[in-house]
Amino acid sequence: MHSETARAEPVKDGTILRLIKRIHLPLDDPFALAGLIIYAVFILVAVFADQLATHNPLEILFTADYQLAADLRPGEDGFVLGTTSLGRDIYSQLIYGSRSALLIGITAAFMVAVIGTVVGLLAGYFRGWIDVVLMRAADIAFGIPFLPFVIVLSAFLEPSIWNVVFAMALILWRDTGRVIRSQVLTLRTRAYIDAARVAGSSDLKIVFRHIAPNILPLSFLYGSIAIGWAILTEAAISFLGFGDPETISWGYMLQDAYASQALSTGGYYWFVPPGICIVLVVVAGFFISRGYEEILFPKLKE
Amino acid sequence: MLWAVATILFLMFRLMPTNPLAAYIDPTFTEEQQQLLMAKFGLDRPLWEQYFIYLKNLLQGELGDSFFYRQPVGERVLELLPNTLVLTFSSLIVAYLFGIIVGAWLAWKRDSVAERATIPLVLTTRAMPEFWLGMLLLAVFSFTLGWFPAGGTRSPGSEYDGYLALYTSRDFLSHLVLPALTLAIYSQGLPLLLMRSNMLEVMNEDFVTMARIKGLSNWTVVVRHAARNALLPVMTSFAIAVGYQIQGNVVVETVFSWPGLGRELVNAVSASDYPLAQGAFLMIAVVVVLMNLLADLLYSLLDPRVSHA
Amino acid sequence: MDGDILRVNGLKISYAVGDEKVRAVDDATFSIPGGSIVGLVGESGCGKTTVARGLTRVMTKNASIEGGEAIFDGADLMSMSETEMNRLRWRDIAFVPQSAMNSLDPVYRIEHQLNEVLVQRGGHSRKDARRRAEELFDMVGIEPRRLKDYPHQFSGGMRQRVAIALALALNPKLVIADEPVTALDVIVQRQILDTLKDLQEKLGISVILVTHDISVVAYVCDRIVVMYAGRVVESGDTETVLTKPYHPYTMGLYNAFPDLQSSAGVLTPIEGHPPDLRHPPTGCRFAQRCPFAQDRCTTSGEIALSDVGGGHFAACLRSDEAETLRGDAAKSETWAAMA
């Protein structure tokens, strides 16, 4: 018993180190690198939003001559990107929007990756009724139309950006879960897993030491795709008017612009920048996931 | 499958903290009147009883009455379904034709500048929020250039006898262009990327090499052998894409005020018209499930290894 | 010789692998007499399949023909234009692939795939093509009603017969068969080889049979061409070469395979691996693995094929001592000593 616990420590260290190594960021692919840089920039903007923003994004502003600063064009009266119909600073909204986007994106991706990975591991490793129940649940999740589900859910719950995260956690684990399960099924038949089992390793140890490290890049792949999904979903929900009006997000800005007739008045400066920000962050996630794919399935490159 | 979706839906709608009749009840109603209404909609009975009544009604195609329209939900939903289907299919057909041809071409032009530039471009179209793309097209082609109408399915005041007359009218088609284009731009990425990677794989297959050794024409080799085989998974993705598209229509229908299921769902939820929201949701779920079944069927029809096992 | 349908002379084919070039076929020289089956034999990676595919000029993108000629029917296959080459394909030179499963298109009926070559390449009318397809199935011993089947509905041996039928569709002068029986079990192998030999004699065509299995060559081939590390090391009449080999590699190869007709005794493998063709050794490429190698084998430069009598060629400096070497090569200790 003593020697067992004594030996456990370094093993644990080794496992964590190995896990980190397994994640290896796809740095040699130029697009993936571009994606990582885009992420880095947006993270910096989100962190230093207070310093970068020129105004409170929700404050109704007035010009020097005490007029409502509404519908100002970019550059007018020192508003870099102009103002909204209610007299709010678009540039500052854009800066603060990065906060909610990243917050939602990363937490949702984390939830999707974690739930999906756990489900896939359990179903794939233990098989039997656990597998049947979990895969049946995945089938049902596949049958639920995602966006309509989020709409209905956010209509019942208090308006909050977390509704999207919650809904994604409820539904979107299905894709990750299935893929990871099939990966585990193939890993399970490998000789070294058998060897570990014969050598008397516990199920838990096999799962975490031998199987989990091998599927981690796959979890990351699906996680990086989920970031994009979360941001797009949040934008759609806010656009449809089910978002939290107290939290500035890019989707909220677009809804505001659409509802305030910015389209017919040529207010491109209002609805183009938030869209571009969304595209940049989401596409960055795609590029990174492509980089992972090439690490995971190098055959595709040939 | 649909039963599970229906059950989840029931639980969602009934267990929510808000009173399902909140929108229906006028504040001036007396307590008694409220009770009467509850009884009318069966909301005074125990939950399990409500559940069985709900299932029984569903099986009979009975979806209840809309609070807002005071009209049977089933009727209303079926009225809107064709609009959604026309929009979905027209955009997907354009997207798939484009995606398949360009995807095959990119595989053929492997490693060229065009190929390198196209992939990030395609990913970018996938990263665009559909409603934002719709807003851009609307602002540019409708409001700024005035080429297309801004929304709806027909000009104000115009009347058509039945769906066919409407769908074949010039008026309708000009209304269809922008929303269909929005969805098509978004959807072409999937068939394009699928076709490209399948083609690259199939081009390395022995039977393609053999077709060359046979001295068959380039067209026969690339189209009749390589593309025909690469097409299999792409075609099955079509049915699945229809399922996804129907739910994605929610935002685009809203942007273009397109009277379809998705927009109705949004409006119904905003107006707390629960029976209608429930009906629209179920209809969307039905289409998704049916399309998944169709995808399986299509695959077995296209692949002799499945159909002639 | 004038009766040759094909004369390959100094053929050089390279693959680009990364930044390096691998000369997979280096200075291959052999000839195919009209109306004969010639076995092209050697270990995997010796360049035999590359030669076969090179003769069709349908190769992977990274392959290039760097020299030599292949005179087929008086014209050089290697230097003719792609249009001219395409005219010859399948009409004059047909191909039987190793795995008929993967080389038949899974989504079309066999009938369609036969029609395709008959109509598009052979200029048959639809009706004519139908008759011809039935005739071909008859020839290879499959019921014509199976023309309506898809490739996956055939067994491995049957598929190989289909592949032969396809190859014979346009009455070619030369059929190149790349490991046509490798994936099959021994009994089916014999049946297919019997069919092939039978048809070859009946139709008077020539066949290049590419194989790693010297017993297949012994079973059906009139002549044999032995390749090692991209070069031809010995060639000649099958019986002469196999009973009186002049190159130690041929001697070793013969020891390493069971006889297709009878169960053989002990098999003696040739120890070691073929050389890395990115950096081929100077002199004889077999020297490293050869129990009879001498210093001069690696120092005297490339060793050319020389006539050892009666159209029998070998590329060995010690071919004059062949008789003695043959005696030693028959003993398994000789080869075991190289381990």
What sections of chain C are H helices per DSSP?
Answer: 48-56, 82-88, 100-103, 110-115, 126-140, 156-168, 186-203, 214-220, 238-243, 248-255, 295-299, 322-329, 332-336
Distance CA C239, CA C144 (A): 38
DSSP letter for C309, please. Answer: S
Q: Do B215 and C107 touch (CB under 8 A)?
A: no
Which DSSP helix (H) or strand (E) runs through C121? none
- Three-state SS at A121: helix
Distance CA A232, CA B142 (A): 25
- Show residues of chain B in contact with C116, CB under 8 Å: 214, 216, 220
Sheet of C223-228: strand order equals C93-96, C174-178, C206-211, C37-41, C223-228, C231-237, C313-314, C306-307
- Three-state SS at C123: coil
B92-104 tens-digit pLDDT: 899 999 999 998 8
Neighbours of chain C (3+ CB pairs under 8 A): B
C303-324 tens-digit pLDDT: 888 888 888 999 988 888 888 8
Q: What is the pLDDT of residue B2?
A: 66
Return the top range by mean pLDDT from A7-11, B113-117, C37-41.
C37-41
When mean pLDDT is compared across B66-80, C160-174, C186-200, the lowest value belongs to B66-80
H helix and E strand count, chain B: 15, 0
C-alpha closest to that of A176 among A229, A129, A233 = A229
Confidence of residue C225 (pLDDT cuts 50, 70, 90): very high
What's the start-to-end Cα distance of chain B, in Å? 28
**Best mutation site among A29, A146, A151 for testing chain B: the one with the most B CBs within 10 Å?**
A151
* The pLDDT of residue B19 is above 70: no
C-alpha closest to that of C274 among C241, C231, C215, C214 = C231
Q: Is B210 on the interface with C (CB under 8 A)?
A: yes
Distance CA B280, CA C143 (A): 57
Q: What is the pLDDT of residue C101?
A: 76
* pLDDT over 90 percentage in chain C: 24
pTM exceeding 0.90: no
Q: What is the pLDDT of residue A21?
A: 56
C259-286 tens-digit pLDDT: 655 555 567 778 888 888 888 888 889 8
- Three-state SS at C281: coil
Residue A152: φ, ψ to 5°: -60, -45
Distance from chain centroid for Cα B41: 31
C335 token code pair: 């080869």
**Best mutation site among B111, B112, B210, B228 for testing chain C: the one with the most C CBs within 10 Å?**
B210
CA distances from B27 to A235, A295, B21, B43 (A): 34, 62, 11, 18
Distance CA C137, CA A82 (A): 79
Q: Which residues of chain A have pLDDT under 70?
A: 1-28, 49, 51-91, 191, 260-270, 294-302
Question: Do chains B and C touch by CB distance (3+ pairs < 8 Å)?
Answer: yes
A45 token code pair: 């903007």
Residue B88: CB partners within 8 Å, gap ≥ 6? B183, B242, B245, B246, B249
- Three-state SS at C25: strand
- The secondary structure of C145-162 as a DSSP string is GGGGS-GGGS-HHHHHHH
Q: Closest to A147 (Cβ–Cβ): which among B12, B136, B248? A: B248
Q: Is A253 on the interface with B (CB under 8 A)?
A: no
Q: Is B131 on the interface with A (CB under 8 A)?
A: yes
C-alpha closest to that of A234 among A142, A159, A156, A141 = A159
Q: What is the pLDDT of residue A58?
A: 65
B190-227 tens-digit pLDDT: 888 888 888 888 888 888 988 989 888 888 888 888 88
Q: What is the pLDDT of residue C38?
A: 94
Q: Is B150 on the interface with A (CB under 8 A)?
A: yes
Angle, to 10 degrees, between the axis of helix A212-239 and the axis of helix A90-126? 140
For residues B125-146, average pLDDT: 77
Q: What is the pLDDT of residue A300?
A: 41
Chain A residues 50-79 within an 8 A CB cutoff of chain B: none
State how far residue B237 is from chain C, nearest Cα, in angstroms: 18
**What does the buried/exposed string (b/e) look like for A55-76 if buried means 16 or more CB atoms within 10 Å of the residue's CB?**
bebeeebebeeeeebbbbeeee
Distance CA B207, CA A160 (A): 56
Distance CA A231, CA A229 (A): 6
Q: What is the pLDDT of residue A145?
A: 78
Distance CA B48, CA B174 (A): 49
CA distances from A3 to A6, A7, A8, A195, A204 (A): 5, 6, 9, 22, 19
State how far residue B5 is from chain A, nearest Cα, in angstroms: 6
Q: Is B139 on the interface with A (CB under 8 A)?
A: yes
Distance CA A177, CA A183 (A): 10
**Cα angle at B170 between B168 and B174, to 5 degrees?**
110
Q: Do C103 and B206 touch (CB under 8 A)?
A: yes
Residue C76: φ, ψ to 5°: -85, 115
Q: Do C58 and B213 touch (CB under 8 A)?
A: yes
For residues C143-158, average pLDDT: 89
Angle, to 10 degrees, between the axis of helix C248-255 and the axis of helix C322-329? 30
Q: What is the pLDDT of residue C224?
A: 94
- The secondary structure of B134-182 as a DSSP string is HHHHIIIIIIIS--S-SSSSS-TT---SHHHHHHTSHHHHHHHHHHHHH
Q: Do B135 and A271 touch (CB under 8 A)?
A: yes
C-alpha closest to that of B246 among B296, B294, B298 = B294
Q: What is the pLDDT of residue B28?
A: 59
Contact yes or no for B260/B250 (Cβ under 8 A)? no
Beta bridge partners of C96: C177
Distance CA A168, CA C76 (A): 66
C-alpha closest to that of B284 among B269, B272, B297 = B269
When mean pLDDT is compared across A246-260, B277-291, C125-139, C193-207, the lowest value belongs to A246-260
Distance CA C158, CA C155 (A): 5
Q: What is the pLDDT of residue A2?
A: 42
- Three-state SS at C208: strand
State how far residue B217 is from chain A, nearest Cα, in angstroms: 26
Read off the amino acid at residue C67: G
**Best mutation site among B207, B221, B306 for testing chain C: the one with the most C CBs within 10 Å?**
B207
Distance CA C180, CA C199 (A): 15
Q: Do A240 and B5 touch (CB under 8 A)?
A: no
- Domain C4-92+172-336 is in which class? alpha beta
Residue pointed to by tokens 């977390």: A162
For residues C41-55, average pLDDT: 89
C101-139 tens-digit pLDDT: 788 888 889 999 999 889 888 888 888 889 999 988 988
In chain C, which segments carry CATH 3.40.50.300? 4-92+172-336
Q: What is the pLDDT of residue A11?
A: 41
For residues C196-217, average pLDDT: 91
Residue C266: CB partners within 8 Å, gap ≥ 6? C332
Q: Is B232 on the interface with C (CB under 8 A)?
A: yes
Confidence of residue C37 (pLDDT cuts 50, 70, 90): very high
When the pLDDT of each residue in chain C is averaged and rounded to a whole number, the result is 87
Question: Do chains B and A touch by CB distance (3+ pairs < 8 Å)?
Answer: yes
Confidence of residue C237 (pLDDT cuts 50, 70, 90): very high
Count contacts between A and B (CB, < 8 Å): 132
C73 token code pair: 């029917």
Q: Is B308 on the interface with C (CB under 8 A)?
A: yes
